A and B are shown apart, each in its own frame.
Chain A
Amino acid sequence: MSLSAIWGLVQTALELGVTCSLTVLALFLSYSMLNVCDLSTDGCFTLGAAVGAVVAIAGHPYLSIPAAMAAGMLSGFVTAVLQTRMGIDSLLAGIIVNTGLYSINIAVMGKSSLLNMNKTETVFTKVKALLADTPLAGYQELLIALAAVALVIVFLTLFLRTRLGLAIRATGDNPDMVRSSSINPVFTTTVGLCVANAFTGLSGCLLAQSQKSVNIDIGSGMVTIALASLLIGQTFLGRGSIAKRAVGMVLGSVIFRLVYTIALRLNMPAFMLKLVSSVIVIIAIAGPYLKTQLPMLEKRLAGSRKGGG
């Protein structure tokens, strides 16, 4: 395999990793900070992709990005209202919204489950034209994704230091404290989920436009993939400042895609992607738990041996 072929694979992994890391950053806010596992992520990712594509096809390449983010925000708002105002369990709220979004996404895509953007002017084609005669030609996917990720990280770092950001973090960190304080957990949860889902929508929009097509399944399994990336990132840069941890999320996402690319080269079939992400999430969450259980298990085994059955 030639060097350029290897670089080609790495570049694709980087593009995918960085683009999808926006979803990981969304989970960083909802899962790590608010302590809400937002299962509407898959549907919201597809929603962002669909809305972004439709707006771009309608001839508004730049408008497609804020439109996708606004759609994501709206979806997050619905999830938040269900769990804070309607008494629906937060996991169930996510699942319900996710299911509902499937129909909405097909409706957005004009009753079709596939949209093609081969001849559509998108942010990527615009930037590609700009880069045409520079040394960076051909890197528009990576550059746009990196720029988006950098903006989101800067935003998150600043936002989580504001009083509202601190209140959101406290809501996830100690709900008991928040309940008897002047922070309204309904408000903080709603804002947190809206912002997080705006990022998820943005992530979907950028992935669809860089791939020049939207499939109704583009977001399926995304929550597990993002969670796997988040947990990988946490093992590398899990402590320290918000900025450092946010960079860790991007790193986790890129590592996940690189490992996946390598596994593909080793003849792992492509359909294994979702199983791999599931196994990573299981190991990352169950591992530390089992480690705490191990001494107890050893004691019990030793005890039963001594007791002689």
Chain B
Amino acid sequence: MAETAQEKRKPSMVDDKIYTWPHLVRMEFLLTIFVMVVLIIWAVVIDAPLEEPANPTRTPNPSKAPWYFLGLQEMLVYFDPWHAGVVLPTLIIVGLMMIPFIDINPKGNGYYTFKDRKYEILTFILGFHVLWVSMIIIGTFFRGPGWNLFWPWQRWDPHKVVALTNVDLPYLFGFRDYLWSSVFGGLVVVGYFVVSTLAFYLWIRRVKGKEFLERWGMVRFAITAFLFITMLALPAKMFLRLAFNVKYILVTPWFNI
């Protein structure tokens, strides 16, 4: 982005407002024409898909959600549906709405700047580009029958054999008893949040200073820490799955994480 070039521009004291009519209205008009031209050409050249009639008795393999939900479907690989499909999307929406209230940095209001908002922008890019968009790309182009990974140029082999060697984390640590597995798993999940919150606190204090933490306040800190750590749980679980074949961390009769 052009942050560095833009931030040099010092606001002038003169009133540099211009009339909406004709300046903005003209711009909107031209942009509308441009969009219409592109869209019409696109619509003439590429047909919208229309497959065979709906048949509830024939499930295609793979069944993919609309592309904009494939990030969520991709998360199903790592989390159970109640978590990947309900809890995390809710937290994404609520978390997005929280942004204006937890970001108290007065700088960068109405102009591009990277230097003054390094951590805010990097967090957004981590959540949006690195996690959301790349998962959509994986789900759209790299997932085939059985939701197995395929290269886009590879033939989709419906009989591809993938060893199901995933085990739960407590099992990996030698727990064979159901109750103690749950207790251990619960401790790991709680421990993850406690340790991460502590690390987050120390990290913020180092990069932003004690004075910032006081201004930020307990509530803002807690909400930000919870949302940020929950977001990081996704790559953490992905790493555990890909590196150690971990299926669940916490197993209970009602839900698994």
A and B held together in a complex: no
Partner-A contacts on B (CB < 8 A): none
